[in-house]
Chain A
Amino acid sequence: MTDPEDRPFTKEEAARLRTYPAPPRELEDRVVGALRRETKEPSVESGFGRTRVIAVAACAAVLAFTIARWTAPAPVVDRGAYLLLVQDGPGDDRLSAEEASQRVGEFAAWARDLRARGLLTSAEKLEDGGEVLSAGRTAPLTDADRSIGGFFVIRASTPEEGVSIARSAPNLRHGGRIVLRRLDHRTR
Chain B
Amino acid sequence: MTDDRALVRAFLGGDEHAFRELYRRHTPALYRIVWRLAGGRDEDAADIVQDVWLRASRRLDTFRWDAALPTWLTSIAINCVRERSRRRPDEAVPLTVEIPVARTDHRRLELEQAIQSLAAGYREVLVLHDIEGYTHDEIAGLLGIDTGTSKSQLFRARRALRAALSDARGVRL
Contacts and interface: CB of A to CB of B under 8 A. Distances in A.
Interface of A: 2, 6-9, 13-14, 16-18, 20-24, 27-28, 30-32, 34-35, 38, 46-50, 93, 128-129, 137-140, 142-143
A23 B27 contact: yes
Contacts of A6: 158
Given A8-B173, A28-B23, A28-B27, A38 B54 contact: yes
Nearest to B137: A137
B46 A47 contact: no
A129 B173 contact: no
Nearest to B72: A140
B99 interface: yes
Interface of B is mostly: helix
Nearest to A132: B144
Contacts of B107: 13
B65 to A, nearest CB: 11
B93 interface: no
Contacts of B29: 18
Nearest to A21: B35
B125 to A, nearest CB: 12
A135 B50 CA distance: 34
Interface residues on B, range: 35 or more
B46 A18 contact: no
Contact of A32 (B16, B45, B141): B16
A143 B79 CA distance: 8
B3 interface: no
B20 A28 contact: yes
B132 interface: yes
Contacts of A7: 130, 158
B62 A128 contact: yes
B131 A18 contact: yes
A45 to B, nearest CB: 9
Contacts of B62: 48, 128-129
